[in-house]
Amino acid sequence: MEQFISSLVQLFEFTHLLYLFGGTLLGLTVGILPGLGGTSGLALVLPFVFNLQPSYALAMMIGILAPTTTSDTFPAVLMGIPGTAGSQATVMDGFPLSKAGEAARALSAAFFSSLLGGIFGAFILSISIYYAIPIIMAFGFGEQFLLIILALLMVGALTGDNFIKGITACFLGLIIGSIGTAPITGDPRFTFNTLYLIEGVPLVVVGMGLFAIPEIVGLLDSKGAIAKSLNIEKGWFQGIKDVLNNWFIVIRCSTIGCIVGALPGLGGTVVDWIAYSHLRQTTNDTSMFGKGDIRGVIAPESANNAKEGGALIPTLLFGIPGSGNKVLLLGGFVLIGIEPGLDMVTTNLDLTYLMIWSLAIANILGAGICILFANHISKLTLVRYYILAPVMIVLIFFATFNYNRDWIDFIGLLTFGMIGITFKAYGWSRPALLIGFFLSTKVELLSYQTYAVYGLTFIHRPVSIILIILCLSTILLLLRQKFGESKNSNSIKNKNHQIYFIFLLLVLPIMMSVVIYDLDYRANIYPITLCFVTIILLSIIFLLKYFESNNSLFMKNILLRYIGLNIFEESSGYNNQFVYFSGLIIYLFMNYIFGFPIASVMFINIFIVMHNKKDFKLSIMISIILLSILWLLSSLLTLQFPNGLIGEIIDMPWWLGGELN
């Protein structure tokens, strides 16, 4: 209790507040920009956190995560586009309200319920921390192993429309995560004798590639929907009153948000829909839903902020991320030397409380800023896409480079960007791939450790039995559950492309099995098992697609019909996105020739001027700002930028990529 208060005092120290505030602002920004969310926001700051004291870094990272689901309401209400996946349900009633001229009421109701939900989540988290020690002590190697299996099952099954594809994405992630030095024997595995892969593929490269790049390319493709007029003058108090009148909905939906958030995998993407449908089921008069019922805004918004508190429970106690952004949060923990688990509730309890307080205060700050500066912030939705996109691309390249200081990371980034775009277009789960990737080493180690300590007897332990039952019932439920609406596969074009993509995916497990076949059995049994299962799963998907596209009779079988549901995805604009993606490849080549700083300036200028010649003043201004930031960072971090071919010929200053001294 004493620590509970002292960490609050610590947080109110000026520097802490500064970092928290900075994080909150960044979180608000990435929440508003359509497509970006907490995952991209964290990926951007991750390279900088290791220069910070742990408590500052935590305040900042939590500051980023907490308000993204608050500010994402702006585009949801004003433009009818969810700012992050967590505000999809808000659009249902928020946008009609806005069209009816009640945008301010919808926004203030959303912000206020976000605030309450966020604080509720922090409250539940602090209670669960209090009871955590016996739970952690009861989770030995075997229980942790089963818990991860359960998490992977749920993530794989729930984050996409088709659960076989989701599980396959998990397995692909596990395979990619097993690249690098084999943890048991120390043999290099699938590294092709290069140094680059010896520690595996870097987390930031995978996270940025899978999440940030597809969203930016998607933004370019959609040409950035722009809100025409912003009328959010009146009705602010009405919204707050609405929330107070519906306080019971707030409590119920916050509880749902917490529980769903704590279950790995459900996390960000569906919690708003669950809260929304709960509201519909428990309300007598449903006539106004979808047409502008304020309750339809309050329910999802309180739930999606409460989920952050819930999602931190498995993250802090077991190191199991519930959603994509928690993977990066855990990556940040590693950088600042914090290990999730027992330490979080014993020696590092002060840091845990600091995070809880940060969560609560960031929610208040976020909602407060949104309400007070709504008119200014909503203008962010007006920024033109062709100015935003190149700057974000440069930012992503910089953050990636700074994480590992390796030129090759750019190639990795684009490779995973490619995978991300295709996954997004063809309905493969990106969170499943990322979480599988992150947990891979843990799965491998825990399976060895469990076997070494217990043999097979670990399944007799009581907690294990509960977890096994949970796993089995998850699978059963998923086989029966029809999630979302079935897509009419006759209307879906480019089915053949989707089938080709499966063949492409098959290359990875097959190649991996061949390359590592000769290693010691303790080094290759895990990846080869993964490859084997993945090949089977991919074959099943292939058969389903093949038969479905041939209109076979097999669809009469109920089980097959369930698992074949939504096996194809609409993928409009996939080809367009490829065109934009090729712009990134050109940028990469420019890096190779001119070095990072010069290439970035050229890229931004060319991009902006190509879209609108009149903006050249703006692009020059952005270039100047960019160069001075790069100059400052290179001397602060002793950072040598990739210098490119030109640097080999001409002697460049240090901060443009030249030699030191």
Partner 1 sequence: MYKLTIMFFSFILFSVFSSLNAGVNFTGKTVTIVVPFKEGGGTSRFTRFMQPFLTKYVPGKPVIKIMHIPGGGAIKGSNYFQKNQKPDGTYLFGCSTSVIVNVAVGNPLVEYNLSSYKPVILLPQNTHWFTRSDLADQPHDISKLQQMKLVLYALKTPASADLFHIWIFDKLGIKGAKPIPGLSSSGGYQAFLRGEIHISSHGAANYIKRVKPEIEKGKVVDLMTLGIVGSDGSVTRNPLAPNAPTFPEMYQKVNNKKLSGEDLESFYSIAAAWSQASKSLLLPEGTPDEIVNVWRNAATKMVNDPDFKSKAKKALGPFPLIIGEEAGPIIKKASVFSQNTKKQLNTVLKKHKFTFRLQ
Burial tier of 34 (Cβ tally within 10 Å: 0-12, 13-18, 19+) = buried
Shortest spacing between CB 335 and partner 1, in angstroms? 5
**CA neighbor of 33 nearest in space, from 90, 72, 69:** 72
Shortest spacing between CB 333 and partner 1, in angstroms? 11
Stretch that binds partner 1, among 115-123, 185-193, 474-482, 540-548 (CB under 8 A): 185-193
Strand (E) or helix (H) holding 215: helix 213-221
Residues in the chain: 661
Among 234, 405, 482, 493, binds partner 1 (CB under 8 A): 405
Residue 416 near partner 1 by CB under 8 A: no
Q: Are 338 and 348 in contact (CB under 8 A)?
A: yes
Residue 560 near partner 1 by CB under 8 A: no
- Quick one: 140 or 368, whose CB is closer to partner 1? 140
Considering only residues 301 through 340, tell me which ones interact with partner 1, judged by CB under 8 A. Answer: 335-337, 339
The amino acid present at 173, given as its one-letter code, is: G
Stretch that binds partner 1, among 90-98, 218-226, 310-318, 445-453 (CB under 8 A): 445-453
Considering only residues 509 through 538, tell me which ones interact with partner 1, judged by CB under 8 A. Answer: 520, 522-523
Strand (E) or helix (H) holding 102: none
Encoded one letter per residue, x for contact with partner 1 by CB under 8 A and - for no contact, window 345-384 reads --x-------------------------------------
Pairing of strands 188-189, 180-181: antiparallel
Considering only residues 71 through 100, tell me which ones interact with partner 1, judged by CB under 8 A. Answer: none
Among 1, 452, 553, 650, binds partner 1 (CB under 8 A): 452
Stretch that binds partner 1, among 9-17, 191-199, 563-571, 586-594 (CB under 8 A): 191-199
Shortest spacing between CB 212 and partner 1, in angstroms? 21
Distance between CA 398 and CA 385 in Å, rounded?
Answer: 20
Distance between CA 24 and CA 65 in Å, rounded?
Answer: 8
Among 195, 466, 514, 621, binds partner 1 (CB under 8 A): 195
- Only one residue has tokens 């209400």, namely 77
Distance between CA 484 and CA 486 in Å, rounded?
Answer: 7
Give me the phi and psi of 434, to 5 degrees please: -65, -45
- Quick one: 245 or 347, whose CB is closer to partner 1? 347
- Quick one: 1 or 455, whose CB is closer to partner 1? 455
- Quick one: 37 or 647, whose CB is closer to partner 1? 647
Angle value at C-alpha 206, between 387 and 623, nearest 5 degrees: 25
- Quick one: 216 or 519, whose CB is closer to partner 1? 519
Encoded one letter per residue, x for contact with partner 1 by CB under 8 A and - for no contact, window 41-70 reads ---------xx-------------------
Q: What is the DSSP string of 25-79?
A: HHHHHHHHSTT--HHHHHHHHHHHHTTS-HHHHHHHHHHHHTTHHHHTHHHHHHT
Give the SS3 label for residue 180: strand
Residue 29 near partner 1 by CB under 8 A: no
Distance between CA 326 and CA 184 in Å, rounded?
Answer: 27
Shortest spacing between CB 416 and partner 1, in angstroms? 17
Residue 658 near partner 1 by CB under 8 A: no
**CA neighbor of 240 nearest in space, from 108, 368, 98:** 108
Interface size with partner 1, residues (CB under 8 A)? 42
Considering only residues 217 through 256, tell me which ones interact with partner 1, judged by CB under 8 A. Answer: none
CA 597, 602, 603, 605 dihedral sign is positive
Among 8, 80, 135, 187, binds partner 1 (CB under 8 A): 187
Encoded one letter per residue, x for contact with partner 1 by CB under 8 A and - for no contact, window 118-157 reads -------------------x-xxx----------------
Residue 573 near partner 1 by CB under 8 A: no
Q: Are 580 and 220 in contact (CB under 8 A)?
A: yes
Encoded one letter per residue, x for contact with partner 1 by CB under 8 A and - for no contact, window 454-493 reads ----------------------------------------
Give me the phi and psi of 250, to 5 degrees please: -60, -45
The amino acid present at 493, given as its one-letter code, is: K
Shortest spacing between CB 61 and partner 1, in angstroms? 14
Distance between CA 12 and CA 246 in Å, rounded?
Answer: 32
Among 22, 80, 183, 368, binds partner 1 (CB under 8 A): 183
CA 558 to chain centre: 34
Q: Are 205 and 416 in contact (CB under 8 A)?
A: yes
Among 29, 259, 343, 475, binds partner 1 (CB under 8 A): 343
Stretch that binds partner 1, among 32-40, 102-110, 354-362, 403-411 (CB under 8 A): 403-411
Burial tier of 1 (Cβ tally within 10 Å: 0-12, 13-18, 19+) = exposed
Give the SS3 label for residue 653: coil
Which residues contact partner 1 (rule: CB under 8 A)?
Answer: 50-51, 137, 139-141, 181, 183-187, 193, 195-196, 198-199, 335-337, 339, 341-343, 347, 404-406, 441, 444-445, 448-449, 452-453, 520, 522-523, 638, 640, 660-661
